């Protein structure tokens, strides 16, 4: 729901966008056209991940002609596992995982961004559990309402209950990375947030 701001309820929001039409349009576009029209397609969204999540909800519901009960789980930023299958497990270097690796290797030491902003990262195993638990929850609701309840939306986030800032998150991460450093790191793990490009460039030049 990255096209909305403020408090978000666990429900479907009306949108002026015809998502099914947009989905079919993108499906028929060449890779070159997607790159050229990226700014237009991403209007109101920070990245393709957020756009695709919003679109998938609408396309899924639009194509559910038989009325099969649906569970939609809305995670924030997906991070590595907290416990299962092992702490720190991941199978890709997308999004947060890449930044964590770069920090641990000492390659990313300065970042342009607001260190005090909340970094809403959820371990992937927490999300998996929530998906599993959401299924019987919808089944129960469906039975209690004699089949009327056909949609269960659940947010998987931490901002309101257990917030952590970008700065504190990377302080925790780099602390552990320095306790157990990577063999091929080029520098000490340390991340500094800069509120503007001038500060960022000045610090980089000094180093």
pLDDT tens for residues 50-67? Answer: 888 888 998 888 888 888
How far apart CA 135 and CA 144 sit, in angstroms, is: 14
Residue 70 has pLDDT above 80, yes or no: yes
Q: State the pTM of this model.
A: 0.80
Give the residue-averaged pLDDT of 120-134.
94
Q: Are 130 and 156 in contact (CB under 8 A)?
A: yes
- pLDDT(207) > 70: no
Which of 76-80, 129-133, 198-202 is the most confident on average?
129-133
Domain residue extents for the chain: 1-63, 64-206
Share of the chain above pLDDT 70, in %: 98
Give whole-number Cα distances, 53 to 19, 137, 150, 167, 187, in Å.
11, 22, 20, 27, 36
Q: What is the pLDDT of residues 87-126, one digit of tens each?
A: 888 888 877 889 999 999 999 999 999 999 998 899 999 9
pLDDT at 176: 92
Residues 6+ positions from 18 with CB-CB distance below 8 Å: none
2, pLDDT greater than 70: no
pLDDT of residue 174: 95
């Amino acid at each position: 729901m990255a096209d909305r701001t403020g408090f978000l309820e666990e429900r479907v929001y009306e949108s002026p966008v015809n998502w099914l039409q947009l989905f079919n349009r993108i499906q028929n576009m060449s890779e070159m056209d997607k790159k050229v029209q990226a700014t237009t397609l991403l209007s109101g969204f920070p990245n393709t991940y957020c756009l695709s999540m919003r679109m998938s909800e609408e396309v899924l519901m639009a194509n559910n002609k038989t009325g099969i009960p649906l569970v939609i789980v809305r995670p924030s930023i997906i991070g590595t596992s907290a416990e299962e299958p092992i702490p720190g497990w991941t199978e890709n270097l997308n999004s947060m995982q890449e930044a964590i690796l770069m920090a641990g290797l000492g390659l990313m030491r300065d970042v342009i961004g607001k260190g005090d902003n909340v970094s809403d990262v959820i371990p992937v195993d927490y999300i998996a559990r929530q998906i599993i638990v959401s299924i019987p929850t919808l089944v129960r609701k469906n039975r209690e309402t004699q089949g009327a309840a056909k949609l269960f939306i659940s947010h998987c986030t931490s901002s309101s209950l257990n917030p952590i800032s970008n700065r504190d998150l990377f302080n925790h991460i780099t602390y552990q990375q320095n306790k157990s450093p990577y063999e091929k790191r080029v520098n000490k793990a340390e991340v500094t947030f800069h509120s503007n490009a001038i500060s960022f460039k000045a610090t980089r030049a000094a180093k």
